[in-house]
Amino acid sequence: MSEKLKDTLNNANKYVADNRLKVGIKPTFHLTGEIGWINDPNGFSFYKNKYHLFYQHNPYDVQFGDIYWGHATSDDMVSWKYEDIALAPDKEYDINGCFSGTAIVDNEKLVIMYTGFCNPDKDDISKSTQVQCIAVGDGKYFEKFENNPVIDKSNLPENCSEIDFRDPKIWVNDGVYYSLIANRASDGLGQLLLYKSTNLSEWEFVCVLLKNNGDFGKMWECPDLFMIEDKYVLIISPQEVVAKGDMFQNEHGTMYFIGDFNYDTFEFTYSDFNEIDFGLEFYAPQTLKTDDGRTILVAWCQSWGETIHHKVNGYSGIMTIPRELTIKNNKLYQYPVRELNDYRSNEVIYTNAIINGTEKLENVNGNIFDMELNIKNVDASFFEVRFLEDGESYVNIKVDFELNTVTFSRENNKFKGKNNTRTIHLKNTESIKMRILLDLYTFELFINDGEYATSYSVYAEDTAKDITFISDDKVKCDVSKWDISKR
């Protein structure tokens, strides 16, 4: 490792060590950076019997800056241990950031492919470059390849931007390495470029795997391509999207395509697509395959633009709970990793509780919990649950049985973003299942066993813990609630 890289890493790790005790209250089962800023999950992998989750990280500030790769490891994707910072910007090609990328296990090493960002003139982004780089490590220390960057403008086809060229997804198939990289075409729209290599150093452009036809925002970021059973799933994070019905209510969203990928023709065809998460904060997801065959997805539970970035506690940015992915009826279902159930305690159960008017249920309160609701309408036109109440402020979920909608709102919350409500239309709401994870500042709602997943930032006073159930007539509700505590 070069002396400069050693120094840059040591300085950052020392800064984290010196300041980690200044950080305020943290979520219990959602990962944040140790201090400072985080955005996208990176290099999500299973290596030497541990899950590894890296992330875009500015340790020195609670806002974006020159980006490092923070690093955490886990046995179960719920409790995370911070490791030393894994990658630091130190070379000309990545001096302003080691941007997002992915990892594979190869020859007993963890191989990272990331984007090097160089921005010599902060007032003129057109002079910046994005190139693809490799770093190889033992799960703790990573060496950048001598011949980095391994992909730069010299292997970009015509009409492809050098400025918007990032977030490689690397994988191996039949002894060949592949990399799928987000790029902006000269018409300003996103596209995914596929490369291949036999040695990680020399990469050959294969094709444009998919190009934005203008229907899905502008630039695309953070591609991932993986299989669930016999289907290929491609995910992207499109920017500057325009809302279409329930879809794309956020300026920067995420979406999936379900289809087929052919290694002979390098064609990706899809039959179905949709938004991944129907909340207000969710971006740049990545997946891994577990040893027992599950596909797990994790995302940054925030986004660029209008999202709330809470900075008072000395850190900014939270990951979603890792989610198990399945496909049912050509739709992507998401549900919290089953390992979370091992953290449940203090069970409170109500069977067929009748809600009619405004009700509180004994022992159903808190701001760190896992809750399941089975809601059956009898005579009501709406059913509402308020969370994080403190007399002045709350967030709520409201089911409108006449319109068949579920709406989340933080309009009545002390902390708001630009966009504070989101509504989903369901086929039927007469009977509806919800699972709610609340972990101080992160609120995740899964509807009907994961048919819809929605994530939100919900900053509130740490004392705001009341929960109230409201309806305008009879609703039957089973409530199961567990505290989630650290182990």
The count of chain residues that interact with ligand FRU, using the rule CB under 6 A, is: 13
Separation of alpha carbons 465 and 394, rounded Å? 9
Shortest Å distance, C-beta 374 to ligand FRU: 36
Residues 327-386 that bind ligand FRU (CB under 6 A): none
Shortest Å distance, C-beta 253 to ligand FRU: 12
The pairing of strands 421-425 and 452-457 is unpaired
Pick from 221, 251, 277, 400: which binds ligand FRU (CB under 6 A)?
Answer: 221
Q: Which residue has the tokens 């594979």?
A: 104
Residues 265-294 that bind ligand FRU (CB under 6 A): 283-284
Give the residue with the Cβ less far from ligand FRU, 318 or 479. Answer: 318
Q: What count of residues does the chain have?
A: 487
Under the binding rule (CB under 6 A), the answer on residue 39 touching ligand FRU is yes
Give the residue with the Cβ less far from ligand FRU, 125 or 176. Answer: 125
Shortest Å distance, C-beta 304 to ligand FRU: 6
Under the binding rule (CB under 6 A), the answer on residue 88 touching ligand FRU is no
Residues 107-166 that bind ligand FRU (CB under 6 A): 115, 166
What would the 3-class secondary structure string for the chain be? CCHHHHHHHHHHHHHHHHHHHHCCCCCCCCCECCCEEEEEEEEEEEECCEEEEEEEEECCCCCCCCEEEEEEEECCCCCCEECCCCECCCCHHHCCEEEEEEEEEECCEEEEEEEEEECCCCCCHHHCEEEEEEEEECCCCEEECCCCCCECHHHCCCCEEEEEEEEEEEEEECCEEEEEEEEEECCCCEEEEEEEECCCCCCEEEEEEEECCCCCCCCEEEEEEEEECCEEEEEEEECCCCCECCECCCCCCCEEEEEEEECCCCEEEEEEEEECCCCCCCEEEEEEECCCCCEEEEEECCCCCCCCCCCCCCEECEECCCEEEEEECCEEEEEECHHHHHHEEEEEEEEEEEEEEEECCCCCCCCEEEEEEEEEECCCCEEEEEEEECCCCCEEEEEECCCCEEEEECCCCCCCCCCCEEEEECCCCCEEEEEEEEECCEEEEEECCCCEEEEEECCCCCCCCEEEEEEEEEEEEEEEEEEECCC
Pick from 16, 86, 151, 222: which binds ligand FRU (CB under 6 A)?
Answer: 222
Give the residue with the Cβ less far from ligand FRU, 40 or 444. Answer: 40
Under the binding rule (CB under 6 A), the answer on residue 100 touching ligand FRU is yes
Give the residue with the Cβ less far from ligand FRU, 221 or 384. Answer: 221
Shortest Å distance, C-beta 93 to ligand FRU: 14
Under the binding rule (CB under 6 A), the answer on residue 179 touching ligand FRU is no
Shortest Å distance, C-beta 126 to ligand FRU: 17
Under the binding rule (CB under 6 A), the answer on residue 167 touching ligand FRU is yes
Under the binding rule (CB under 6 A), the answer on residue 40 touching ligand FRU is yes
Under the binding rule (CB under 6 A), the answer on residue 16 touching ligand FRU is no
Separation of alpha carbons 139 and 81, rounded Å? 13
Give the residue with the Cβ less far from ligand FRU, 216 or 369. Answer: 216
Give the gyration radius of the chain's Cα atoms.
Answer: 22
Give the residue with the Cβ less far from ligand FRU, 298 or 380. Answer: 298
Active-site entry in 40, 90, 94, 370: 40
Catalytic, 40? Answer yes
Under the binding rule (CB under 6 A), the answer on residue 184 touching ligand FRU is no
Under the binding rule (CB under 6 A), the answer on residue 249 touching ligand FRU is no
Shortest Å distance, C-beta 405 to ligand FRU: 30
Shortest Å distance, C-beta 438 to ligand FRU: 25
Q: Which residue has the tokens 């229907």?
A: 215
Shortest Å distance, C-beta 236 to ligand FRU: 11
Give the residue with the Cβ less far from ligand FRU, 70 or 322. Answer: 70
Give the residue with the Cβ less far from ligand FRU, 166 or 435. Answer: 166
Pick from 53, 67, 236, 458: which binds ligand FRU (CB under 6 A)?
Answer: 67
Q: Report the residue closest to ligand FRU, judged by CB.
A: 99
Can you give the binding site for ligand FRU, defined by CB under 6 A? 39-40, 56, 67, 99-100, 115, 166-167, 221-222, 283-284
What is the set of active-site residues?
A: 40
